[in-house]
Amino acid sequence: MQNYVFVLDTNKQPLNPIPPARARELLTKQKAAVFRMYPFTIILRHAVSNPVLKQLTIKLDPGSRVTGIAVLDGENVIWIAELEHRGWQIKDSLLSRRSLRRSRRNRKTRYRQPRFNNRKRKEGWLAPSLMHRILTVDTWVKRLCLYSPITQMAMELVKFDTQKMQNPEIDGVEYQQGELAGYEVREYLLEKWGRKCAYCDKKGVPLQIEHIHPRAKGGSNRVSNLTLSCERCNTKKGTKSIDEFLFKDGSRLEKIKRQAKQPLKDATAVNATRFCLFRTLKNVLPTMTGTGARTVGNRTRLELPKHHWVDAACVGEVEKLNLLTQQPLQIKCTGWGTRQMCGTDKYGFPTRHRERKQVHFGFKTGDIIKAVVTSGKKVGRYIGRVLCRKTGSFDIATKTQRVQGISYRFCTPIHQKDGYSYAF
Protein backbone atom coordinates (compact mmCIF):
# COMPACT_ATOMS: atom_id res chain seq x y z
CA MET A 1 0.00 0.00 0.00
CA GLN A 2 1.55 3.25 -1.20
CA ASN A 3 1.09 6.85 -0.12
CA TYR A 4 -1.77 8.82 -1.57
CA VAL A 5 -0.84 11.32 -4.28
CA PHE A 6 -1.17 15.07 -3.76
CA VAL A 7 -3.13 16.94 -6.43
CA LEU A 8 -3.05 20.56 -7.61
CA ASP A 9 -5.26 22.18 -10.19
CA THR A 10 -3.83 24.31 -12.98
CA ASN A 11 -3.88 27.35 -10.65
CA LYS A 12 -1.81 25.40 -8.09
CA GLN A 13 -4.71 25.20 -5.69
CA PRO A 14 -4.41 22.09 -3.44
CA LEU A 15 -7.13 19.48 -3.84
CA ASN A 16 -7.94 16.27 -1.99
CA PRO A 17 -5.21 13.59 -2.24
CA ILE A 18 -6.12 10.61 -4.41
CA PRO A 19 -5.07 6.92 -4.47
CA PRO A 20 -2.08 5.97 -6.66
CA ALA A 21 -4.31 4.06 -9.12
CA ARG A 22 -6.42 7.14 -9.77
CA ALA A 23 -3.30 9.28 -10.26
CA ARG A 24 -1.89 6.72 -12.69
CA GLU A 25 -5.14 6.87 -14.69
CA LEU A 26 -5.03 10.67 -14.90
CA LEU A 27 -1.40 10.60 -16.05
CA THR A 28 -2.10 7.91 -18.65
CA LYS A 29 -5.02 9.86 -20.12
CA GLN A 30 -2.85 13.01 -20.09
CA LYS A 31 -5.33 14.85 -17.90
CA ALA A 32 -2.53 15.64 -15.47
CA ALA A 33 1.25 15.95 -15.37
CA VAL A 34 3.89 15.30 -12.72
CA PHE A 35 4.46 18.47 -10.72
CA ARG A 36 6.93 17.17 -8.13
CA MET A 37 8.51 13.79 -7.43
CA TYR A 38 9.10 14.09 -3.67
CA PRO A 39 6.50 14.23 -2.25
CA PHE A 40 4.82 12.89 -5.38
CA THR A 41 2.41 15.55 -6.65
CA ILE A 42 0.48 15.88 -9.91
CA ILE A 43 -1.04 18.98 -11.44
CA LEU A 44 -4.27 18.92 -13.43
CA ARG A 45 -4.51 20.53 -16.84
CA HIS A 46 -7.71 22.35 -15.90
CA ALA A 47 -8.96 24.54 -13.07
CA VAL A 48 -11.43 23.29 -10.45
CA SER A 49 -14.01 25.82 -9.28
CA ASN A 50 -15.53 25.51 -5.79
CA PRO A 51 -13.91 22.18 -4.87
CA VAL A 52 -15.25 20.20 -1.91
CA LEU A 53 -12.16 19.89 0.27
CA LYS A 54 -11.66 17.50 3.13
CA GLN A 55 -10.26 18.64 6.46
CA LEU A 56 -6.94 16.83 6.70
CA THR A 57 -4.81 16.61 9.84
CA ILE A 58 -1.04 16.35 9.97
CA LYS A 59 0.43 14.61 13.01
CA LEU A 60 4.03 14.73 14.18
CA ASP A 61 6.14 12.57 16.46
CA PRO A 62 9.24 14.75 17.06
CA GLY A 63 12.40 12.85 17.87
CA SER A 64 16.05 13.58 18.42
CA ARG A 65 17.18 11.67 15.32
CA VAL A 66 13.98 10.85 13.38
CA THR A 67 10.63 12.64 13.25
CA GLY A 68 7.53 10.72 12.20
CA ILE A 69 4.98 12.46 9.96
CA ALA A 70 1.46 11.27 9.15
CA VAL A 71 -1.38 12.92 7.20
CA LEU A 72 -4.85 11.71 8.19
CA ASP A 73 -8.28 12.02 6.63
CA GLY A 74 -10.36 11.47 9.74
CA GLU A 75 -9.45 7.94 10.85
CA ASN A 76 -7.67 7.09 7.58
CA VAL A 77 -3.87 7.38 7.37
CA ILE A 78 -3.23 8.41 3.75
CA TRP A 79 0.37 9.73 3.69
CA ILE A 80 3.35 8.91 5.92
CA ALA A 81 7.02 9.84 6.10
CA GLU A 82 10.03 9.63 8.39
CA LEU A 83 12.33 12.66 8.52
CA GLU A 84 15.92 11.88 9.55
CA HIS A 85 17.77 14.86 11.03
CA ARG A 86 21.46 15.71 10.77
CA GLY A 87 22.02 17.45 14.10
CA TRP A 88 25.03 15.26 14.90
CA GLN A 89 26.67 16.27 11.59
CA ILE A 90 26.15 19.95 12.40
CA LYS A 91 27.69 19.44 15.83
CA ASP A 92 30.74 17.71 14.36
CA SER A 93 31.18 20.49 11.79
CA LEU A 94 31.04 23.19 14.49
CA LEU A 95 33.55 21.31 16.62
CA SER A 96 35.88 20.99 13.64
CA ARG A 97 35.58 24.69 12.86
CA ARG A 98 36.23 25.61 16.47
CA SER A 99 39.38 23.49 16.63
CA LEU A 100 40.72 25.01 13.38
CA ARG A 101 40.04 28.57 14.56
CA ARG A 102 41.55 27.95 17.96
CA SER A 103 44.67 26.48 16.39
CA ARG A 104 45.00 29.47 14.05
CA ARG A 105 44.56 31.97 16.90
CA ASN A 106 47.20 30.20 18.95
CA ARG A 107 49.63 30.38 16.04
CA LYS A 108 48.95 33.93 14.81
CA THR A 109 47.77 35.89 17.86
CA ARG A 110 49.17 34.05 20.85
CA TYR A 111 49.70 37.28 22.81
CA ARG A 112 46.19 38.69 22.34
CA GLN A 113 44.28 39.18 25.56
CA PRO A 114 41.34 36.76 25.92
CA ARG A 115 37.84 38.21 25.57
CA PHE A 116 34.98 36.31 27.15
CA ASN A 117 32.21 38.85 27.74
CA ASN A 118 31.90 40.46 24.32
CA ARG A 119 29.08 38.20 23.12
CA LYS A 120 25.58 37.78 24.51
CA ARG A 121 23.05 35.24 23.34
CA LYS A 122 19.40 36.10 22.94
CA GLU A 123 16.81 34.73 25.31
CA GLY A 124 15.58 31.34 24.15
CA TRP A 125 18.74 30.68 22.11
CA LEU A 126 19.22 27.11 20.92
CA ALA A 127 22.34 25.46 19.57
CA PRO A 128 22.43 25.13 15.74
CA SER A 129 22.20 21.34 15.97
CA LEU A 130 18.95 21.70 17.95
CA MET A 131 17.53 24.57 15.91
CA HIS A 132 18.05 22.46 12.79
CA ARG A 133 15.43 19.97 14.04
CA ILE A 134 12.86 22.71 14.47
CA LEU A 135 13.51 24.35 11.11
CA THR A 136 13.37 21.11 9.11
CA VAL A 137 10.07 20.05 10.68
CA ASP A 138 8.66 23.53 10.07
CA THR A 139 9.83 23.36 6.43
CA TRP A 140 8.05 20.08 5.77
CA VAL A 141 4.84 21.16 7.48
CA LYS A 142 4.68 24.25 5.27
CA ARG A 143 5.57 22.18 2.21
CA LEU A 144 2.76 19.70 2.83
CA CYS A 145 0.31 22.56 3.38
CA LEU A 146 1.09 23.78 -0.15
CA TYR A 147 0.10 20.45 -1.71
CA SER A 148 -2.90 19.38 0.41
CA PRO A 149 -5.81 21.04 2.27
CA ILE A 150 -4.45 20.55 5.80
CA THR A 151 -6.48 22.47 8.38
CA GLN A 152 -5.09 21.35 11.73
CA MET A 153 -2.06 19.77 13.34
CA ALA A 154 -1.28 17.52 16.30
CA MET A 155 2.16 16.96 17.77
CA GLU A 156 3.58 14.93 20.61
CA LEU A 157 4.74 17.31 23.33
CA VAL A 158 6.93 14.65 24.87
CA LYS A 159 8.97 15.24 27.98
CA PHE A 160 11.51 12.73 29.23
CA ASP A 161 11.83 13.57 32.93
CA THR A 162 15.46 12.59 33.35
CA GLN A 163 15.37 13.28 37.09
CA LYS A 164 12.43 10.93 37.53
CA MET A 165 14.14 8.37 35.33
CA GLN A 166 17.22 8.47 37.54
CA ASN A 167 15.19 8.34 40.78
CA PRO A 168 11.53 7.33 40.28
CA GLU A 169 10.65 7.75 43.99
CA ILE A 170 11.69 11.40 44.13
CA ASP A 171 8.14 12.80 44.37
CA GLY A 172 6.10 10.00 45.82
CA VAL A 173 4.38 7.01 44.33
CA GLU A 174 1.51 9.06 42.88
CA TYR A 175 3.78 10.07 40.00
CA GLN A 176 3.98 6.51 38.70
CA GLN A 177 0.38 5.38 39.11
CA GLY A 178 -2.44 5.26 36.57
CA GLU A 179 -3.20 3.65 33.20
CA LEU A 180 0.00 4.92 31.56
CA ALA A 181 2.41 4.02 34.37
CA GLY A 182 5.92 3.07 33.29
CA TYR A 183 5.55 3.94 29.60
CA GLU A 184 8.13 6.76 29.65
CA VAL A 185 10.94 4.63 31.14
CA ARG A 186 10.06 1.55 29.07
CA GLU A 187 9.94 3.55 25.84
CA TYR A 188 13.33 5.10 26.59
CA LEU A 189 14.86 1.69 27.33
CA LEU A 190 13.46 0.27 24.08
CA GLU A 191 15.16 3.04 22.12
CA LYS A 192 18.40 2.81 24.09
CA TRP A 193 18.85 -0.97 23.82
CA GLY A 194 17.61 -1.38 20.23
CA ARG A 195 14.40 -3.29 21.07
CA LYS A 196 16.20 -6.56 21.66
CA CYS A 197 17.43 -8.66 24.55
CA ALA A 198 20.73 -7.34 25.87
CA TYR A 199 21.97 -10.87 26.68
CA CYS A 200 20.99 -12.89 23.59
CA ASP A 201 20.03 -10.23 20.96
CA LYS A 202 16.62 -11.86 20.47
CA LYS A 203 14.01 -9.66 18.77
CA GLY A 204 10.27 -9.94 18.27
CA VAL A 205 9.61 -11.39 21.75
CA PRO A 206 8.16 -9.77 24.90
CA LEU A 207 10.98 -7.94 26.69
CA GLN A 208 11.19 -7.39 30.43
CA ILE A 209 12.89 -4.58 32.32
CA GLU A 210 15.89 -6.12 34.05
CA HIS A 211 18.29 -4.73 36.66
CA ILE A 212 21.94 -4.97 35.63
CA HIS A 213 23.01 -4.93 39.26
CA PRO A 214 20.24 -6.97 40.95
CA ARG A 215 17.95 -5.37 43.50
CA ALA A 216 18.62 -8.26 45.88
CA LYS A 217 22.24 -7.11 46.10
CA GLY A 218 21.57 -3.39 46.49
CA GLY A 219 20.89 -2.36 42.91
CA SER A 220 18.84 0.79 42.30
CA ASN A 221 16.01 1.71 39.93
CA ARG A 222 18.15 4.31 38.15
CA VAL A 223 17.79 4.15 34.39
CA SER A 224 21.53 3.55 34.10
CA ASN A 225 20.99 0.27 36.00
CA LEU A 226 18.14 -0.93 33.77
CA THR A 227 18.24 -2.96 30.59
CA LEU A 228 15.94 -5.23 28.57
CA SER A 229 15.97 -9.01 28.47
CA CYS A 230 13.73 -11.84 27.34
CA GLU A 231 12.01 -13.98 29.94
CA ARG A 232 14.47 -16.87 29.49
CA CYS A 233 17.57 -14.71 30.08
CA ASN A 234 15.92 -12.83 32.94
CA THR A 235 15.05 -16.08 34.71
CA LYS A 236 18.48 -17.56 34.03
CA LYS A 237 20.30 -14.51 35.41
CA GLY A 238 18.14 -14.32 38.54
CA THR A 239 20.00 -12.54 41.32
CA LYS A 240 23.45 -13.05 39.83
CA SER A 241 25.64 -10.05 39.20
CA ILE A 242 26.30 -9.27 35.55
CA ASP A 243 30.01 -10.08 36.01
CA GLU A 244 29.09 -13.53 37.29
CA PHE A 245 26.43 -14.11 34.64
CA LEU A 246 28.60 -13.12 31.66
CA PHE A 247 32.04 -14.17 32.88
CA LYS A 248 32.44 -16.36 29.76
CA ASP A 249 31.42 -13.57 27.34
CA GLY A 250 33.74 -10.68 28.07
CA SER A 251 32.92 -8.73 24.90
CA ARG A 252 29.18 -8.66 25.64
CA LEU A 253 29.86 -7.76 29.28
CA GLU A 254 31.98 -4.79 28.24
CA LYS A 255 29.39 -3.71 25.66
CA ILE A 256 26.52 -3.74 28.18
CA LYS A 257 28.53 -1.81 30.76
CA ARG A 258 29.54 0.78 28.18
CA GLN A 259 26.02 1.21 26.82
CA ALA A 260 24.50 1.46 30.30
CA LYS A 261 26.64 4.55 30.99
CA GLN A 262 25.60 6.37 27.83
CA PRO A 263 24.28 9.86 28.62
CA LEU A 264 20.70 10.94 28.06
CA LYS A 265 21.59 13.13 25.05
CA ASP A 266 18.58 12.23 22.91
CA ALA A 267 16.12 12.79 25.74
CA THR A 268 17.74 16.14 26.54
CA ALA A 269 17.56 17.24 22.89
CA VAL A 270 13.82 16.49 22.78
CA ASN A 271 13.25 18.35 26.05
CA ALA A 272 15.18 21.40 24.82
CA THR A 273 13.30 21.76 21.53
CA ARG A 274 9.73 20.70 22.33
CA PHE A 275 8.27 24.07 23.36
CA CYS A 276 10.16 26.03 20.69
CA LEU A 277 8.83 23.61 18.06
CA PHE A 278 5.31 23.97 19.43
CA ARG A 279 5.46 27.77 19.29
CA THR A 280 6.83 27.64 15.74
CA LEU A 281 4.16 25.28 14.43
CA LYS A 282 1.38 27.14 16.24
CA ASN A 283 2.04 30.11 13.94
CA VAL A 284 1.42 27.89 10.90
CA LEU A 285 -1.74 25.96 11.83
CA PRO A 286 -3.96 25.40 14.89
CA THR A 287 -1.96 22.84 16.86
CA MET A 288 -3.08 20.25 19.39
CA THR A 289 -0.71 18.37 21.67
CA GLY A 290 -0.53 14.92 23.19
CA THR A 291 1.80 13.22 25.64
CA GLY A 292 4.27 10.52 24.76
CA ALA A 293 2.69 8.12 27.22
CA ARG A 294 -0.71 8.50 25.53
CA THR A 295 0.89 7.87 22.14
CA VAL A 296 2.39 4.58 23.34
CA GLY A 297 -0.90 3.69 25.01
CA ASN A 298 -2.83 4.23 21.78
CA ARG A 299 -0.33 2.19 19.77
CA THR A 300 -0.45 -0.65 22.30
CA ARG A 301 -4.25 -0.66 22.43
CA LEU A 302 -4.54 -0.74 18.63
CA GLU A 303 -1.82 -3.44 18.42
CA LEU A 304 0.22 -1.55 15.84
CA PRO A 305 3.95 -2.10 15.16
CA LYS A 306 6.57 0.29 16.43
CA HIS A 307 7.53 2.82 13.74
CA HIS A 308 8.04 6.56 13.87
CA TRP A 309 5.16 7.18 11.46
CA VAL A 310 2.89 4.89 13.51
CA ASP A 311 3.70 6.91 16.63
CA ALA A 312 2.85 10.08 14.70
CA ALA A 313 -0.54 8.67 13.67
CA CYS A 314 -1.26 7.70 17.30
CA VAL A 315 -0.64 11.18 18.73
CA GLY A 316 -3.51 12.67 20.73
CA GLU A 317 -7.00 11.24 21.06
CA VAL A 318 -7.32 8.22 18.78
CA GLU A 319 -10.20 5.78 18.76
CA LYS A 320 -9.50 3.90 15.53
CA LEU A 321 -6.99 4.00 12.68
CA ASN A 322 -7.27 2.67 9.13
CA LEU A 323 -3.82 2.33 7.57
CA LEU A 324 -4.40 2.99 3.89
CA THR A 325 -0.65 3.16 3.37
CA GLN A 326 2.28 1.44 5.05
CA GLN A 327 5.16 2.58 2.83
CA PRO A 328 6.67 5.73 4.36
CA LEU A 329 8.74 8.20 2.37
CA GLN A 330 12.21 8.15 3.93
CA ILE A 331 13.48 11.74 4.02
CA LYS A 332 17.09 12.32 5.05
CA CYS A 333 18.53 15.76 5.66
CA THR A 334 21.73 16.13 3.65
CA GLY A 335 22.20 19.90 3.72
CA TRP A 336 23.07 22.22 0.85
CA GLY A 337 26.77 21.49 1.00
CA THR A 338 29.44 23.83 2.31
CA ARG A 339 30.40 27.40 1.44
CA GLN A 340 34.03 26.57 2.08
CA MET A 341 36.03 27.23 -1.08
CA CYS A 342 39.22 25.62 0.22
CA GLY A 343 39.14 22.14 1.71
CA THR A 344 41.61 21.21 4.44
CA ASP A 345 43.05 18.05 5.90
CA LYS A 346 42.67 17.05 9.54
CA TYR A 347 45.53 19.39 10.48
CA GLY A 348 43.97 22.44 8.83
CA PHE A 349 46.27 22.69 5.81
CA PRO A 350 44.66 23.37 2.38
CA THR A 351 44.42 20.33 0.12
CA ARG A 352 41.75 21.10 -2.49
CA HIS A 353 39.86 24.00 -4.01
CA ARG A 354 36.37 24.27 -5.37
CA GLU A 355 35.20 26.17 -8.43
CA ARG A 356 32.59 28.88 -8.12
CA LYS A 357 30.54 27.47 -10.98
CA GLN A 358 28.18 24.78 -9.70
CA VAL A 359 25.83 24.17 -12.65
CA HIS A 360 27.30 22.10 -15.48
CA PHE A 361 25.25 21.31 -18.60
CA GLY A 362 22.07 22.14 -16.70
CA PHE A 363 22.81 19.81 -13.75
CA LYS A 364 23.99 20.48 -10.22
CA THR A 365 25.65 18.07 -7.80
CA GLY A 366 22.91 16.57 -5.64
CA ASP A 367 20.17 16.49 -8.28
CA ILE A 368 18.25 13.24 -8.67
CA ILE A 369 18.42 12.11 -12.29
CA LYS A 370 17.63 9.18 -14.54
CA ALA A 371 20.34 8.01 -16.93
CA VAL A 372 19.55 5.63 -19.79
CA VAL A 373 22.90 4.59 -21.28
CA THR A 374 22.50 3.09 -24.74
CA SER A 375 26.14 2.55 -25.72
CA GLY A 376 29.50 1.84 -24.17
CA LYS A 377 30.52 -0.40 -21.29
CA LYS A 378 27.89 0.94 -18.88
CA VAL A 379 24.72 0.19 -20.83
CA GLY A 380 21.73 0.26 -18.51
CA ARG A 381 19.26 2.40 -16.61
CA TYR A 382 20.39 4.25 -13.48
CA ILE A 383 18.46 6.44 -11.04
CA GLY A 384 20.16 8.32 -8.23
CA ARG A 385 21.99 11.41 -7.08
CA VAL A 386 24.47 12.93 -9.52
CA LEU A 387 27.97 14.30 -8.99
CA CYS A 388 28.72 16.82 -11.74
CA ARG A 389 32.01 17.73 -13.39
CA LYS A 390 32.78 20.45 -15.89
CA THR A 391 34.03 17.79 -18.33
CA GLY A 392 30.49 16.39 -18.67
CA SER A 393 31.45 13.00 -17.17
CA PHE A 394 29.13 12.48 -14.19
CA ASP A 395 28.97 9.97 -11.34
CA ILE A 396 25.60 8.57 -10.21
CA ALA A 397 25.05 7.21 -6.70
CA THR A 398 22.24 4.64 -6.84
CA LYS A 399 20.82 2.56 -3.99
CA THR A 400 23.36 -0.20 -4.48
CA GLN A 401 26.41 1.27 -6.20
CA ARG A 402 28.19 4.31 -7.55
CA VAL A 403 28.43 4.39 -11.33
CA GLN A 404 31.26 6.51 -12.70
CA GLY A 405 31.83 8.12 -16.08
CA ILE A 406 28.24 8.67 -17.30
CA SER A 407 27.95 11.34 -19.99
CA TYR A 408 25.53 14.20 -19.41
CA ARG A 409 23.87 13.38 -22.76
CA PHE A 410 22.26 10.28 -21.22
CA CYS A 411 20.90 12.12 -18.15
CA THR A 412 17.35 13.38 -17.55
CA PRO A 413 16.49 15.43 -14.43
CA ILE A 414 13.89 14.01 -12.04
CA HIS A 415 14.18 16.14 -8.90
CA GLN A 416 16.31 19.20 -8.24
CA LYS A 417 18.57 19.37 -5.23
CA ASP A 418 16.67 20.66 -2.17
CA GLY A 419 18.83 19.59 0.78
CA TYR A 420 17.22 16.18 1.26
CA SER A 421 17.59 12.66 -0.07
CA TYR A 422 14.61 10.35 -0.55
CA ALA A 423 13.94 6.63 -0.49
CA PHE A 424 11.12 4.16 0.16
Indicate if 60 and 156 belong to the same structural domain: yes
> Domain residues for 199?
163-170+181-260
So what's the pLDDT on residue 175? Answer: 39
Q: pTM for this one?
A: 0.77
So what's the pLDDT on residue 130? Answer: 92
Indicate if 144 and 62 belong to the same structural domain: yes
So what's the pLDDT on residue 172? Answer: 40
pLDDT for residue 116 is more than 90: no
The conformation of residue 377, written as its DSSP 8-state character, comes to: T
- Which of 23-32, 204-213, 251-260, 343-352 is predicted with the least confidence, judged by mean pLDDT? 343-352
374 in any annotated domain: yes
Residue 138 has a CB neighbour count (10 Å cut-off) of 15
Using the CB atoms, write b or e for 255-268: b if 16+ within 10 Å.
ebeeebeeebebbe
Residue 219: give its domain's CATH number.
1.10.30
Q: Considering the chain, what is the average pLDDT of its residues? A: 86
293 in any annotated domain: yes
218 in any annotated domain: yes
The number of angstroms, rounded, from the C-alpha of 112 to the middle of its chain's C-alpha atoms is: 43
So what's the pLDDT on residue 387? Answer: 92
For the stretch 306-329, pLDDT in tens is 899 999 999 988 999 999 999 999
Peptide bond into 39 cis (omega under 30): yes
pLDDT for residue 299 is more than 70: yes
Closest listed residue to residue 371, CA positions, set 385, 362, 382: 382
Beta strands in 287-417 (DSSP E): 287-290, 322-323, 329-333, 342-344, 350-353, 359-360, 363-364, 368-373, 380-387, 393-397, 402-407, 411-415
Describe the crossing of helices 292-301 and 183-192 by its angle, rounded to 10 degrees.
Answer: 80
Indicate if 283 and 256 belong to the same structural domain: no
